[in-house]
Amino acid sequence: MSKQPTPDPAPNAAQFEYWNAAAGKTWTEFQEQLDRQIDPLGLEAMRLLAPIDGERILDVGCGCGQSSIELADRVGTAGAVLGVDVSAPMLEVAHRRSAPYSAGRLEFRLADAQIADLGAFAFDAVFSRFGVMFFADPVAAFANLRGCLKRGGRIGFVCWRPLQDNAWMQIPLQAALPLLPPMTPPDPTAPGPFAFADPNRVRAILEAAGYRSVSVLAFDAAIGGSDLEQTLQLTLRVGPLGAALREHPERRAEIGGAVRNALALHLSARGVQMPAAVWIVLARNP
């Protein structure tokens, strides 16, 4: 497949920079482990979206392509899936993984879903696994996505509930905080992993973008499954702790020891596993 031209990064220029630099490289490096970790959460959202044979589905923030591949298997040879993302490094992985699928059945595009022309009424459904919390203007982004949905088409995505409900991120961060300078509390509505932690905000955004029959469902699962060292290395690179260590790399060794001890308390025969808490959001284009 030929490479797509680089889109205009505005109005999400900061996200383009972030996902094409450190974050994109981290997700490609840890692709297998990250896919295994968050797959159960995406699968539950996919189950509720209920794709069927022959449908065309858009996967927003498809990353390295695992969720798009799972969707393609569900819609069968008569259906099609388009995965879009702003991260060129992650899409390179996705392109390689799509090789077994025939042209037109599974494709990937470098695009900002907030502004990209994805085709009017082109899709039966829109799906996202942790890919829709990063828009500068979420109402505009979801309105743009609604424009590519058929009448009566549906959207389903999974996003994080608050940090304090997600032990897999909160426990390592708490172990590290005594060893870090004081951290300024983030803006809870700024683009980022927890931008949709408030379910009332999610409903308001979708309704303002023109969706109806909005539901926001809580889902909990234990995630992980890697050994202690693998889990530690991933934990030090992603999430709030990863962000803090990018600011203070000189503290990595000291913090690594404290985090290892915290993670060890959750080590079992199935690897390190900790609770995750998400919203699964469903809505329709009227």
Q: DSSP states of 91-102 as a string?
A: HHHHHHHTTTSP
Average pLDDT over residues 67-95: 98
Query: Do 119 and 148 contact (CB within 8 A), yes or no?
Result: yes
- What is residue 10's predicted lDDT score, i.e. its pLDDT? 76
| Contact in structure between 271 and 224 (CB atoms under 8 Å) | yes
Would you say residue 9 has pLDDT above 80?
A: no
Nearest to 79 by CA among 61, 102, 99: 102
User: Three-class SS of residue 173?
Assistant: helix
CA distances from 272 to 194, 212, 226, 260 (A): 23, 39, 6, 11
Mean pLDDT score of the chain, rounded to an integer? 95
Q: What are phi and psi of 251, to 5 degrees?
A: -100, 5
Multiple choice CATH, 13-162+188-222+278-284, 3.20.20.80, 1.10.600.10, 3.40.50.150, 3.10.20.30: 3.40.50.150
Which residues, listed in sequence order, are joined to residue 155 by a DSSP beta bridge?
Answer: 126, 283
Q: In this predicted model, what pLDDT tens digit does every residue of 133-189 receive, in sequence order? A: 999 999 999 999 999 999 999 999 999 999 999 999 999 999 999 999 998 888 999
Domain ranges of the chain: 13-162+188-222+278-284
**pLDDT score at 7:** 52
Calpha distance 174→169 (Å, rounded): 9
Selection from 275, 137, 281 nearest residue 197 by Cα: 281
